């Protein structure tokens, strides 16, 4: 049986927690499922808010994709299903924590800092694009109605 989305999220948070604990950090988990941060990490006197995301790693392992960036976190921990954790700094505080964690003695056996990433927008990929009949601008079905109302090449209405 496939685990639910919330179960996968908890697994990701626990995997990130274990990774950070192995590196010597003190990790505090949020009890509320609606908390703005998943983890708060203390390492070498540096305090950092962490958002944990599940993601996918490319076949060469150089790039990770994940959805949604949250405001307020200092860094993102991305858990790929191959049990590898990647870290992405969003602030200077997050960058200094990643640098400190990367230089810790335990780093060799556990994940690596995230150096290159891409972000997937939430939801389905945009559908096929069709050109506007007046200006030829390519539009998705969702964009069509709004564009037709304000198209600069829209013909003027004739009055009788």
Residue span(s) of the chain under CATH 3.40.1350.10 come to 5-120
The more confident residue out of 65 and 107 is: 65
Please state, rounded to an integer, the average pLDDT across all residues of the chain: 77
8-state DSSP, 116: S
Cβ–Cβ < 8 Å for 88, 75: yes
CATH topology of domain 5-120: Trna Endonuclease; Chain: A, domain 1 (3.40.1350)
Mean pLDDT of 132-147: 85
DSSP, collapsed to helix, strand or coil, labels residue 46 as strand
Cβ–Cβ < 8 Å for 69, 119: yes
How far from chain centre, in Å, is Cα 89? 11
Q: For residue range 15-52, list pLDDT tens digits in order.
A: 999 989 988 899 999 988 888 899 999 988 888 999 99
The more confident residue out of 65 and 9 is: 9
């Amino acid at each position: 049986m496939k685990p639910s989305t919330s179960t996968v999220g908890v697994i990701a948070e626990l995997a990130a927690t274990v990774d950070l604990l192995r590196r010597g950090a003190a990790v505090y988990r949020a009890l509320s499922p609606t908390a703005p941060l998943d983890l708060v990490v203390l390492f070498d006197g540096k305090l950092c808010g962490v958002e944990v995301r599940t993601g996918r790693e490319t076949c060469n392992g150089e790039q990770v994709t994940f959805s949604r960036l949250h405001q307020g976190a200092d860094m993102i921990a991305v858990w790929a299903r191959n049990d590898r954790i990647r870290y992405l700094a969003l602030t200077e505080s997050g960058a200094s924590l990643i640098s400190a964690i990367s230089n810790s003695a335990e780093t060799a056996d556990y994940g690596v800092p995230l150096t290159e990433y891409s972000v997937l927008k939430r939801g389905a990929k945009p559908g096929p694009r069709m050109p506007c009949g007046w200006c030829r601008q390519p539009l998705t079905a969702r964009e069509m109605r709004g564009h037709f109302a304000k198209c600069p090449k829209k013909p003027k209405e004739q009055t009788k």
